[in-house]
């Protein structure tokens, strides 16, 4: 009873989404502290393709259970729910966790609804205390971290993207196929008529080594545009805060924060960003943080490794001038 | 005539929200509410289906009484009816309890062809309610929809997925959630705007929904906040002050020192 923890392994075309590997890192620790077995559940349409996934033998789970059926090719939400709910009813896991990918965010709530379980979103840290598991996430636009518990099992959560590094295991997990019973309903109400693979690979911003980001302290869209110039010179990607996106200064794909992109660059240069928690959780893993802001007490200034108490647009103008002069 | 139900949410106007110190949930009563911005595309999508195939569109919101002005403004967008689901017993609901309440209210308004919601709210930001509500209603959910049309008794939706774009087909009834930004949203009707004060939403309380109190509000919410704490940052590094010019020079120096600049 409640001896295992499920992690959703999101597969597509013989590949495991990296976010499914990321979530195993904190879950490994949780499983060890609570003495549970960590099991990656993979749903796929092709057995050979699944078993050929290179990361399979090095991932941090104790076991990998895979379920194969042609209808699982595009992971239709209703069928995924049915399969996971079946497994949960059979094995009564202590917890079920998903990456906060679009698929994870679409399937997890269906499973939670079916199981009448609580579901926490965008969890980016765990705490184990007295044999209880706490889930941490930023919340409500204030600078607040909420520590959540669930009143009943299974404990469920979607885990924030890019919040955890991928780690490899010393030894390979036990990999086994799970066959569902004879009369299992494999139907789905969803028919895929067409699929167009994404033209661009996952956001370059999320894997950038250098990020230059801007917030409301830049005061205007014209000023914000200077970041793109800076990015070219520094070979960086440009990011923005939610208010900057809302103001139309930068596209939504470049929003860094809770429901945007998470970054872990070597350098993070923040121009005119106060550091609201919904933003900082998306970049606090950055190795070297520089902040330019008029307010010395702003959270981003205190978080930064180096701060410059200055008007962001003027600083940016001066910086660009000097960098261009050097060429 | 087919029926579309659009579930919308009122969120605190940024800067006006207060957190209840005991329960750590939002004090929605005290905040000034605006329409959750990601719900605007949901309303637009419903109107387009109405234009295309003559659906009746009903806007529904679960919230406190100060949600009424928001619903009135939504009426000006051309919906056929507005409903407020409100009861003190609903306060403090997590997404499961909320989904139970919505599922019940939606079932009272059945039969319907489609439930449309925004992908997420800007306060809770979980995005969980559309799929969770669909699951409780035993309906398919289609998330991150960019566009949707009605053809020969079926819906065809283009949705965003982690690996690309899917064109998906399904029969009504179903629940869809719409991406937070679409190409355009139509302005409200001037004629309706002039009369919104006379329009009142129909109210559904728990007397009509008849949900067990143990399944709603704080008591119906398996997720509870055990604690909240402010994220404080101990000052990590040096803060330089001075003129933009000299500070920019200093940054270049620092970046060179660290090997980030040649």
Q: What is the pLDDT of residues B179-189, one digit of tens each?
A: 988 888 999 98
Q: Is the peptide bond prior to B173 cis by the omega test (within 30 degrees of 0)?
A: yes
Contact of A276 with chain B, judged by CB distance below 8 Å, is answered with no
**Pairs of residues, one from chain A and one from chain B, whose beta carbons lie less than 8 Å apart:** 250
pTM of the model: 0.84
A44 token code pair: 């796929």
Per-position pLDDT tens, chain A of length 327: 689 999 999 999 889 999 999 999 999 999 999 999 999 999 999 999 999 999 999 999 999 999 999 999 999 999 999 999 999 999 999 999 999 999 999 999 999 999 999 999 999 899 999 999 999 987 755 567 889 998 789 999 999 988 888 899 999 999 999 999 999 999 999 999 999 998 766 678 888 889 999 999 999 999 999 999 999 999 999 999 988 998 899 998 899 987 788 898 999 999 999 998 888 888 988 889 999 999 998 999 999 999 999 999 999 999 999 999 876
Cα gap B105→B204, rounded to integer Å: 8
Structure tokens at B168: 């998906």
Placement of tokens 């992109």 in the chain: A261
Q: Where are the domains of chain B?
A: 3-220
Can you read off the two tokens belonging to residue B172?
């009504």
| B15 pLDDT higher than 70 | no
pLDDT of residue A239: 96
CATH for A4-177, among 3.40.50.620, 1.10.10.10, 3.60.21.10, 3.90.25.10?
3.40.50.620
CB contact under 8 A, B126 and A311: no
What's the burial of A34, exposed, middle or buried (CB within 10 Å: 0-12/13-18/19+)?
A: middle
ipTM topping 0.85: yes
Six-digit token string for B21:
């110190």
Is the minimum CB–CB distance between A171 and chain B shorter than 8 Å? no
Mutate: best of B103, B222, B252, B262, partner A, most A CBs <10 A: B222
Q: Which residues of A fall within a CB distance of 8 Å from B141?
A: 77-78, 106, 110
The pairing of beta strand B164-170 with beta strand A191-197: antiparallel
Segment B154-165, tens digit of pLDDT = 999 999 999 999
Distance between B59 CA and the closest CA of chain A, angstroms: 23
CB contact under 8 A, B241 and A310: yes
Please give the residue of chain B at the shortest CA–CA distance from A300: B233
Q: Does A279 touch chain B (CB under 8 A)?
A: no
**B112-141 per-position pLDDT tens digit:** 999 999 999 988 788 999 999 999 999 999
Please give the class, per CATH, of domain B3-220. Answer: alpha beta
Q: Does A139 touch chain B (CB under 8 A)?
A: yes
Q: Does B238 touch chain A (CB under 8 A)?
A: yes
Q: Which regions of chain A carry the CATH code 3.40.50.620? A: 4-177
Residue B27: its chain A contacts at CB < 8 A?
Answer: none
- Any idea which architecture A204-326 has in CATH? 3-Layer(aba) Sandwich (3.40)
């Amino acid at each position: 009873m409640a001896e295992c923890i499920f992690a959703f392994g999101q597969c597509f075309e013989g590949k495991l989404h990296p976010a499914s590997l990321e979530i195993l890192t904190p879950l490994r620790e949780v499983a060890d502290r609570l003495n549970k077995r960590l099991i990656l559940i993979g749903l796929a349409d092709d057995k050979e393709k699944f078993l050929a996934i290179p990361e399979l033998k090095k991932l941090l789970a104790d076991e990998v259970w895979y379920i194969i059926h042609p209808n699982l090719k595009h992971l239709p939400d209703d069928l995924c729910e049915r399969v996971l709910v079946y497994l949960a009813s059979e094995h009564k896991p202590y917890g079920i966790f998903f990456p906060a990918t679009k698929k994870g965010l679409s399937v997890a709530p269906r499973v939670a609804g079916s199981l009448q379980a609580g579901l926490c979103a965008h969890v980016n840290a765990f705490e184990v205390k007295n044999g209880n598991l706490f889930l941490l996430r930023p919340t409500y636009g204030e600078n607040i971290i909420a520590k959540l518990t669930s009143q009943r099992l299974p404990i469920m959560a979607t885990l924030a993207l890019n919040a955890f590094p991928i780690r490899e295991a010393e030894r390979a997990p036990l990999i086994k196929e799970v066959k569902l019973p004879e009369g299992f309903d494999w139907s789905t109400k969803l028919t895929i008529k067409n699929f167009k693979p994404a033209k661009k690979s996952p956001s370059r911003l999320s894997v950038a080594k250098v990020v230059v980001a801007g917030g409301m302290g830049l005061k205007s869209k014209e000023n914000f545009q200077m970041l793109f110039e800076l990015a070219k010179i520094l070979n960086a990607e440009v990011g923005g805060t939610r208010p900057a996106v809302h103001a139309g200064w930068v596209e939504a794909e470049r929003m860094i924060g809770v429901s945007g992109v998470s970054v872990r660059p070597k350098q993070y240069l923040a121009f005119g960003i106060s550091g609201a928690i919904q933003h900082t959780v998306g970049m606090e893993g950055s190795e070297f943080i520089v902040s330019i802001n008029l307010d010395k007490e702003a959270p981003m200034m205190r978080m930064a490794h180096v701060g410059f108490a200055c008007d962001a647009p003027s600083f940016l103008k001066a910086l660009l001038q000097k960098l261009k002069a050097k060429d | 005539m087919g029926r579309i139900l659009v579930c919308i949410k009122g969120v605190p106007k940024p800067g006006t929200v207060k957190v209840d110190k005991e329960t750590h949930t939002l004090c929605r009563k005290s905040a000034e509410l605006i329409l959750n911005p990601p719900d605007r595309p949901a309303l637009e999508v419903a109107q387009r289906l109405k234009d295309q195939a003559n659906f009746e569109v009903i806007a529904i919101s679960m919230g406190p009484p100060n949600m009424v002005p928001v619903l009135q403004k939504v009426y000006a967008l051309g919906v056929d009816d507005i409903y407020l689901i409100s009861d003190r017993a609903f306060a403090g609901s997590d997404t499961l309890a909320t989904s139970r309440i919505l599922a019940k209210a939606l079932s009272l308004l059945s039969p319907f062809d489609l439930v449309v919601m925004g992908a997420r709210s800007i306060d809770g930001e979980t995005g969980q309610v559309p799929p969770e509500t669909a699951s409780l209603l035993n309906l398919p959910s289609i998330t991150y929809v960019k566009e949707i049309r009605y053809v020969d008794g079926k819906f065809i939706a283009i949705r965003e997925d982690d690996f690309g774009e899917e064109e998906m087909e399904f029969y009504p009834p179903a629940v869809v959630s719409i991406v937070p930004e679409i190409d355009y949203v139509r302005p409200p009707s001037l004629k309706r705007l002039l009369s919104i004060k006379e329009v009142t939403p129909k109210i559904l309380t728990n007397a009509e929904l008849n949900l067990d109190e143990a399944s709603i509000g704080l008591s119906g919410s398996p997720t509870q906040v055990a604690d909240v704490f402010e994220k404080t940052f101990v000052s990590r590094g040096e803060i330089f002050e001075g003129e933009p010019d000299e500070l920019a020079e200093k940054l270049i120096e620092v970046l060179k020192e660290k090997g980030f600049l040649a």
